[in-house]
Chain A
Amino acid sequence: MSELAKETHRSVADKEVRSVKNKRTKSLWWMYLPALIVVSIFIIYPFLNGIRVSFTDWNGFSQTKNWVGFQQYSRMFSDPDTWLVVKNTLIYGIGSTIFQNILGLLYALLLNQSIKMKALTRTIIYLPVIISPLVMGYIWYFFFSFQGGALNDLLVFFGMDKINALGNPDLNTWLIVFVNTYQFVGIAMIIYLAGLQGISKDFYEAADIDGASAFQQFKNITLPLLMPAITINMVLNIIGGLKLFDVIIALTGGGPGNASQSMSTFMYDLYFSRQDAGYAATQGVLMAFIILILSLLALVYFKRKEVDA
């Protein structure tokens, strides 16, 4: 068939299709109806209802709840625990993001070289990603625990004093960041590796001819062209870090006191242990707000830095 004939054929076919389609063109909403119903019942409705509950003094179990206006909100903003917990949540979110990205990028740069046993290294670094964060928390509990923990065995071996790492309020939030980083650095690494492999070798060859140093090449070629990967990792890690729950439960249970509590674990505590559901819902609204703002900020900020290759 000649090109022209093909063209005509296609446009005739197109017209036919369009007429068939016009008869049937609907939004086909029944196809997404099941999904929409499930999501409405289990996410949208409870989320909106949560906003309503945040204006009540509901204890979570009784049938009565009293409308208290902004009382829970004023309570939240004057509660010193709120600020401690928000601070911890930001440490988990921002701390994990920084460490996972720096380490993930360094690992990716290393594994992008021609070295032996690349596949093995990659597998081992990635392995923790598939393990439950709760189990990961227990694994590191065996490492950090005061009695018979691997860290203290090591300290004793070198003649130093044992430390209660998980019970130390200044230290344990950072240990949780460390465990979260260890677990999910593999995802950051893989995304950076994919990004690195997408950069054409021509850029580096040209830079070599111009006599650019390795550092200059990294700064002027690698980093700008990796920006899309950086955006994805930043947003993913910040959301993951701000939502942290399982690891904290396993490692410190949020303690001592509220010292390592995140917004998620604090909410859980308020609802189940302290029967303060209205207040828990108020904290939930704040948490949704913080996650929304920070992930959007990260998205917009890093998107703007992306360049076209």
Chain B
Amino acid sequence: MKNREKRSRILLTGLALFITLLHLVPFYILITTALKATGDFSSKWAFPTKMEFANFSQAWEQAQLGTAFVNTTLITAGAAMLLIFFGAMAAYPLARMQTKLNKVVYFIFIAIMIIPPLTALVPLYKMVVDIGLMNTRTVAVLNNLAAFLPLTIFLYAGFIRSTIPKELEEAAKIDGASTLVTFFRVVFPLLKPVTATVLIISCVFIWNDYQFSIFFLQDKSVQTLTVALAGFFGQNQNNLNLVASAALMSMAPMTILFLFLQKYFVAGLSSGSVKG
């Protein structure tokens, strides 16, 4: 019996190892492609004989990744901060004050989650052009804010309802604190776990966004990483090594963060999706 268990454990461990290796294949291909010189026609499976680190600096320059990094960071940080601020503030009355109006508003927020952003894109594009926000980081921030507010409100409202004791707010109110003070001094600090979840979900998706960016950020000076990469791919169909280097650099920050904070990433992304 013992022996059989041991053998099945070894077998299953081997299977897990095999699956892990299979899942690593695309990364292996990406890295070796990124390291090979243009004109190196060896098999993609072969490790590069001479590593061409110059690919990285060349791709960085040509794809203008520096600008793209700054833009992506600004847009992601801006949208995430506003999401937390407006999202938490909106969720509070929606979770606590069950008036008819609030129920309707909450339903509207939840219903919006089903609308695919793309279906609103045709008129949205026209509107953005009309109000002069085309090719601004502001429009990217606002679009991403709008896209993730419903989920954010949903997560915050659920958390406030299920875990924040009403007594605390009531005590603060008896002491004469206004609603706003009560919210920011008493309630908001208690929301840290959801705030972390919202932060992770929004940062991952906004950092990776392509749909909004390709529509609204066509100018080189405001382009994000995905837009820069797509443009670079278009120009370098015959020089995929450079594209691979650029792709590798564009995904590096999130990947490094993920490897260090994976516990939070996994919990954040799955709790968001479980509830979303």
Q: Using a CB–CB distance below 8 Å, which chain A residues touch chain B? A: 13, 16-17, 20-21, 24-29, 31-32, 34-36, 38-39, 41-47, 49-50, 52-53, 60, 107, 110-111, 113-118, 120-135, 138-143, 145, 148-150, 153-154, 156-157, 182, 187, 190-191, 194, 232, 236, 239, 242-243, 245-246, 249-250, 264, 267-268, 271, 277, 280-281, 284-285, 287-288, 291-292, 295
Contact = CB atoms under 8 A, between A and B. Distances in A.
A28 B26 contact: no
A292 B269 contact: no
Nearest to B19: A121
A274 to B, nearest CB: 12
B94 A32 contact: yes
Tell me whether chain B's interface is mostly helix, strand or loop, or mixed. helix
Contact of B273 (A52, A153, A191): A191
Tell me whether chain A's interface is mostly helix, strand or loop, or mixed. helix
Query: Chain B, interface size: which category?
Result: 35 or more
Contacts of B233: 138, 250
A182 B276 contact: no
Contact of A38 (B16, B118, B146, B179): B146
Given A31-B92, A135-B226, A187-B269, A236 B276 contact: yes
Nearest to B24: A124
A42 B146 contact: yes
Interface stretch (B60-68, B189-197, B203-211): B203-211
Given A24-B179, A46-B123, A142 B29 contact: yes
B119 A38 contact: no
B149 A38 contact: yes
Interface in B35-75: 41, 43-45
Contacts of B262: 123, 126
A34 B90 contact: yes
Given A20-B170, A131-B251, A284-B122, 6 more contacts: A39-B149, A115-B12, A149-B44, A190-B270, A280-B122, A281-B122
